[in-house]
Amino acid sequence: MTMIKLGVFVVLLVFFLAGVVTLSQGFIETNHTEKAKVWRFSDIPSMKFVKFLGKGSYGSVHLYRHTTHDGSTSFIAAKSSSDRRTIQREFRVLSQLKGSPRIVRVFSSSLHEGLDRIGNRVYEIPMEYASAGTLSSFIRVNKQLNDSTVKDFTRMILQGLVSIHSHGYVHCDLKPGNLLLFPVYDQQTSTNHTYELKIADFGLTLKEGEEESDNWKYHSPYVGTPVYMSPESVRDGTVGKALDLWSLGCIVLEMYTGKRPWSEVSFYDLEDFLGEDKKVPEIPDTVPSDARQFLDKCFAVKPEDRGTASELLLHPFLVGDDKKIADDTTAPTKRWRRMGIMKPPAKLEDSVIKTKALKVKMISFKKSLKLKIPPPRPPSSTFVPVH
């Protein structure tokens, strides 16, 4: 009987302690929520929502107009996502690259945290607004870009990659849709003569060699077309700086032709081309000879043969007769006069990503692709600002 009473007492004690722990956890979580600074740009009186700009790899971007006390206005692009881990990672990378003239700027020392209309927790990064849209929309309007424009844009991309790679990162998602254009105006005539280019969307950025990261995870069947990925990244899932240089080659080719790489390949035949060592995007004869040599370097089968971003800046394709200083990112506006004047998107709507539903095709490959894609992650109730 004594043993039975002792057993009952132990059971009751366990339930009591479990209840205390639960209440304590609830109290701690409640206090943390009350202490958290919960607000979004839409909550600030001086910020007015203008429009939805588009969606990136894991979040959406909205445009806000900021009015100061003296009546002056400016625009801010706020990237928001419920995926705390990914947006926190992007903010950390952008903070480390702050000051680089070829990387999109952020306007805060920490992430902004708030709630959406239905109470879900979301996080925001305030960034500079690219009124000329993306390189993707620019190519869509202008089709084939002239030689001088291609060279200037290529130089700016490489300058950004030098900054990224010098910090030990690989962008992993370099493509025209992630390259932002900012108009450069003539101070005397107030007319747009050319554009500054900056790299954006660091949601998939990884440290070099970070193969087994939780950020990347293989899914089968693969959704979409990894047309900007290098053979080794598709075949082996490896992350190296040479991946970004292959992607750069795809972008340069697209600027010259107005078409995506592998455009001559049927969508359902891509499996035979992705991951094959000897398969490279077709370079048409219309591409200038110096550009062809540059592309051959970017599309080298062995990653180590592609060189580095700093070395490519000194390639004859970019240096040419101008003898331009490779890392000159602070030259005066006159530096850009030699670029041909290209048409900006006809409407503001053309300068942002279209909001129509994306038509996604599903492919079931015969053999596994080792391209790793970051899965969406549920939002967390705890957030620590990143400085």
The catalytic residue positions are 173
What is the C-alpha separation between 116 and 210, in angstroms, rounded?
Answer: 33
Which DSSP letter does residue 208 get?
T
What separation, in Å, do the N-terminal and C-terminal C-alpha atoms of the chain show? 63
What is the C-alpha separation between 241 and 171, in angstroms, rounded?
Answer: 8
Q: Is 223 helix (H, G, I), strand (E, B) or coil?
A: strand
Structure token digits, residue 156? 């700016």
Cα dihedral 347, 351, 352, 357 sign: positive
Which DSSP letter does residue 269 get?
G
Q: Please name the amino acid found at residue 47.
A: M
Are the beta carbons of 208 and 201 closer than 8 angstroms? no
Instruction: List, as residue ranges, the binding site for ATP.
Output: 79
Are the beta carbons of 218 and 234 closer than 8 angstroms? no
Task: Tell me the C-alpha to C-alpha distance, in Å, between residue 4 and each of 12, 14, 15, 16, 113.
Answer: 12, 16, 17, 18, 53
Instruction: Dump the DSSP string for 291-350.
Output: HHHHHHHHT-SSGGGG--HHHHHTSHHHHTTTT--TT-----GGGGTTSPP-PPPSSGGG
The contacts of residue 386 (CB under 8 Å, 6+ apart) are: 88, 91, 92, 95, 110, 111
HSE at residue 332, side-chain half, CA atoms within 13 A, is 3
What is the C-alpha separation between 127 and 99, in angstroms, rounded?
Answer: 13
The contacts of residue 201 (CB under 8 Å, 6+ apart) are: 56, 57, 90, 173, 177, 178
Are the beta carbons of 192 and 183 closer than 8 angstroms? yes
What is the C-alpha separation between 46 and 42, in angstroms, rounded?
Answer: 9
What is the C-alpha separation between 150 and 256, in angstroms, rounded?
Answer: 7
